[in-house]
Structure 1
Amino acid sequence: MARVVVVGSFNVDHVWRAPRPPHPGETLAGEYASGPGGKGFNQAVAARRAGADTLFLCALGDDAGGALARSLAQQDGITLGAAPSAAPTGTAGIYVDDAGRNSIVIGAGANADLDRAFIDSRADALGAAAVVLAQLESPLDAVEQALLSARAGGAVTMLNPAPANAACTGGLLAASDVITPNETEFAALLASHAGGRLDPDQIAAMDDASLHAQCRCLLPHGTVVVTLGAAGAFVSHPDGARRGDAASFQRAPAEAVRPIDTTGAGDAFNGALAAGLATAPGAAFIEHVRYAIQVAGLSTERRGAAASMPWRAEVLQRFDPAARPEK
């Protein structure tokens, strides 16, 4: 199996389900559950379950949360490289409403201690990877160093610029071959790095040529995948680097699903896309995107974050097997 390296966060998620999030000063009755999460770990689980040999680089505390991460990584067959931290393992408080929408507060904890020195100690693994995937829940200098080490070794560098409130630097964009923002993240990146002004709620309705032009302004050298929720995804490539696609830009529709919890759906998409690029590098990029949409859709029919990531066989059973590129 090809190697995906995911660099990012692990959190212990504390999840409350209620008809809606509480207003300030209000108390609501709901249901509580706890489980594994963090964008990095979610994406590593998604990549592994999509069929890629996966290494997860993170920082963990010496506590029950860190022990949980180690145990779950072993269960899924994920190789774990964890920097030690005196801080508690990261946590997240999540509210999920009756429509499956979520609101999240994160306590970084040990995640803030993932540093460049640890990343440098894993330079060989990063350079030997087929795909290196990172997000913005870890210190940005460490994330940038991971992408640069990966690129130096010939890996495809993939950045999920999430969460939207995290400041993505120009260096991170320059080090990325593929970026995967959602509408809110895409609008924020345009405003910060390309001087663009778009309403996130209007992006899915834009005509394809205009949206492609905005993508080219943001990342002239690389591929942009704008995830659009129920509207699917939009893919934009440079003209000279279409990654096997016939067109420089196109859309992939969403699948019909019955969502109960969207927590981790974006992570499911990113992990599955990275796995596809690693395990079937000769397939057209849009086919990997279509499969990633299926993985993300199926994840919304389950509760939880990392625990909701489907296995490849489950995706093939639910959707059209021909949509998954063969190795």
Structure 2
Amino acid sequence: PVLSFIQNAADDPDVLAIKMTLYRTGSDSPIVRSLIQAARKGKQVTVFVELKARFDEQQNMSWARELENSGAIVIYGIVNLKVHAKVLLVMRKERDGIKRYVHLSTGNYNANTAQLYQDISLFTAKEELAQDVTLFFNTISGYSAIPTMHHLYMAPVTLKSKLLELIEREIQRSTKERPGRIIAKMNSLCHPEVIEQLYKASQAGVEIILNVRGICTLVPGVKGLSENIKVVSIVDRYLEHSRIFYFYNGGKEELYLSSADWMERNLDRRIELMFPVTDRKNFLQLKELLSLYFDSDIHHYSLKKDGTWKVHDGTGVQEIIYKKYKKKNDARRSSPKLDIVVRRKD
């Protein structure tokens, strides 16, 4: 879908501009080739290429030169900060004015790693998110000072403080009858301030369930400190790469996706984004997906308070997810197509 989206934008004569971040591009990037094509067709293409992207530094420099030669505007990094956010903005001329289309993701715009990593992304045309994305690009392009964004949270400016605020809100709204709840999935957890806040939440009776694939310096299950915190890890066929954060919020549930792990490098030394999932259908689907990662019947590792991991045999969660969505896709393909008649008033 992402490749088609960018290719269609490059071909569409009504598309005026394309802006995106590129972190890890790969050696043969169909995305970059589409951007080059768009620039050659006269569209305003602005690409933020991170030259400090691990493993892809040389390749990113090569692609950046090709993009510049095609007429695209290329911005090379920010001093002392690595741009790790994954975001794409398309501006299109339509009958009622300029319409903005946005793609936000937890994973890189890399066709190779997309076949190996598990990630989640969001397509939206909601004006409030599109406006924040526009402000984000203005900021990292140097066209404006850091603005106030109302729906996106950007590290190292507002993302960490928002996370701490969301955890604090669970503490304040948690009661014995209706305890708070935090469910989060990420690659690594080792930010001291976040861990301290999670300990505080645990002591306040908030139930905290974490899925951490890699590094975790939080110690769960310690009486009086972290007895309400559970940490599991899943290592499967595909690398678990998505970051999903759920907050019970006294019954007014909220879900966020992010490019950032809860680490000092992500929250303090990188440009990252966290964004809400507000569409009800998407919200419920994502919440159901997140809950699968904590099912007791799946194959996983649980972190003990002595720092060791205990293996729990079971079915791989990725296999469960694959079968679930394959069944949905098969049903959709086999269902009869509807003939739609467009009726217009004379």
Q: Please say whether Structure 1 and Structure 2 have the same fold, judged by a TM-score greater than 0.5.
A: no
Normalised by the length of structure 1, the TM-score is 0.32
Structure number with larger C-alpha Rg: 2
Considering fraction of residues, name the structure with more strand: 2
Considering fraction of residues, name the structure with more helix: 1
Normalised by the length of structure 2, the TM-score is 0.30
